[in-house]
Amino acid sequence: MTRHRKNYTKLIKDEAKRLGFLFCGISQAGFLAEEAPKLEAWLKNGMHGEMQYMENHFDKRLDPRLLVDGAKSVISLGLNYYTNQIQTDPLSPKISKYAYGTDYHSVIKGKLKELLAVINEKIGKVNGRAFVDSAPVLDKAWAKKAGLGWIGKNSNLINKNAGSFFFLAELIIDLELEYEIAPAADHCGTCTRCIDACPTEAIAAPYLVDGSKCISYLTIELKNAIPDEFKGKMDNWMFGCDICQDVCPWNKFSVLHKEAAFDPNPELLEMNKKEWEDITEDVFQKVFKNSAVKRIKFNGLKRNIDFLKTQA
């Protein structure tokens, strides 16, 4: 049985690599005892803002066995999206790197389905589910347990050899595998660059992010008007924010992604400040076809751009 677990684990990791994943680590499914009080306090203090869905399924967030019957293993995967391409007009409202290309949800779901199909084909019938921001799963906690990296002071998962510009996803399955012996060590040290650089002071304390103040939250998750208190503090971001990652010393080890679907839309990079401010719904649909930006719809992006204009 031990030999089978070893062979199955190798097969899964080899297949993940073939599919283009940067990392693959596996941990035993169980209750996240360390995360429970942290999540409870974070919610109690209202740091989730208007993200009411974070209050739902509290138990399921902490125990994947409630999401998949008979779950034994959590396979954590990382897919690189780092690019050194940037928007050509330095005055243009900015978009987070992760949203330059095709929506990562569809790209990663396709890979996870293929991975699960291979598992079923080569190992036998395995019950499992794929997760990409699609259910109450604490991605970073599982990735840490699986040895993919540590959770930094900016609450992002950081890998010593590749930084933090990668997506996280999971396969939760009812198959016993070999598990990582220990989570990765924390290498943030005394560094506070992310805390010092955040213009909205969203990093309330080391390892604690007040989501209700985060620029990514304000430009994506927040459905109502952006509060006036953030005028002059958005650093020209219209969708998401990369500040705490851009200043992180570990991201000097980031490597360019090899996923064609994540290549930036040239039109997106070339639009100037005025073109963004005058954007129409037709242009929005064209530039952001198959993009994660479509999540906030045309009106959401226009709201963000108009808010930035009031800071000029």
Query: Quick one: which H or E segment has residue 204?
Result: strand 203-205
Cα→Cα distances 124→116, 174, 209, Å: 11, 12, 42
pTM tops 0.75, yes or no: yes
Instruction: Supply the angle between the helices 2-18 and 104-122 in degrees, to the nearest 10.
Output: 140
291 vs 108: CA distance, rounded Å: 13
The β-bridge partners of 239 are 95
2-86+101-173 CATH fold: NADH Oxidase (3.40.109)
Position of tokens 């994943």? 21
- Tens-binned pLDDT, residue by residue, of the chain (312 aa): 567 899 999 999 999 999 999 999 999 999 999 998 898 888 888 888 777 777 777 888 899 999 999 999 999 999 999 999 999 999 999 999 999 999 999 999 999 999 999 999 999 999 999 999 877 899 999 999 999 999 999 999 999 999 999 999 999 999 999 998 788 899 999 999 999 999 999 999 999 999 999 999 999 999 999 999 999 999 999 999 999 999 999 999 999 999 999 999 999 999 999 999 999 999 999 999 999 999 999 999 999 999 999 865
Q: Supply the pLDDT for residue 42.
A: 85
Query: Quick one: which H or E segment has residue 297?
Result: helix 297-309
Q: Supply the pLDDT for residue 12.
A: 98
The single residue of 133, 263, 278, 306 carrying the catalytic annotation is: 133
- Told to judge if 228 belongs to the known catalytic residues of this protein, a careful annotator would answer no
Q: Supply the pLDDT for residue 112.
A: 97
DSSP tag of 62: H
307 vs 263: CA distance, rounded Å: 28
Q: What residues does each domain of the chain span? A: 2-86+101-173, 193-249+264-309
Strand order in the sheet with 128-131: 23-28, 73-80, 166-173, 128-131
